[in-house]
Amino acid sequence: MDLVEALEALGVLTRSGLQATSEVWSSVDFVNDEGPVEARELTKQLAARLDSEGLISDCGTEQHARLLFNHWQLPMYNMDLDLIHVPLEQLEAERDAAFWNEVGGY
């Protein structure tokens, strides 16, 4: 919960913050040897942008910044979040199958 509070306090969860996150993180495709070094640099760039755009709330603290830098995993990136059509019957069948798998269907 602390990390979510930090993301909120730093403005990441606002519409503008999500847009900034998308734009900053889309500058690198994590497809080869990219990893923690690149992630830390992008996090620094994002923090600077959040600050420059005035998105950090008055309750944002150094502790929130530490949580962002030390505990935030790579944000989702390079994902297609377009709406897809899935028939209700298919969703219900998958839900029921997952339930019976969990409880040991009889």
The arithmetic mean of pLDDT across residues 46-56, rounded, is 96
Contact 75, 21 (CB under 8 A): yes
Distance (Å, whole) CA 9 – CA 65: 9
The number of distinct structural domains making up the chain is: 1
Question: Angle 2-9/62-71 helices, nearest 10 degrees?
Answer: 120
Percentage with pLDDT > 70 across the chain: 90
Q: Does the pLDDT of residue 75 top 70, yes or no?
A: no
Quote the pLDDT of residue 106.
55
Is residue 91 very low, low, confident or very high in pLDDT (cuts 50, 70, 90)? very high
Is residue 105 very low, low, confident or very high in pLDDT (cuts 50, 70, 90)? low
Distance (Å, whole) CA 16 – CA 9: 13
Q: Does the pLDDT of residue 8 top 60, yes or no?
A: yes
Spell out the SS3 assignment of the chain.
CHHHHHHHHCCCCCHHHHHHHHHHHCCCCCCCCCCHHHHHHHHHHHHHHHHHCCCCCCCCCHHHHHHHHHHCCCCCCCCCCCCCCCCHHHHHHHHHHHHHHHHCCC
Q: Does the pLDDT of residue 29 top 90, yes or no?
A: no
Residue numbers of the domain that contains 38: 2-103
Is residue 78 very low, low, confident or very high in pLDDT (cuts 50, 70, 90)? low
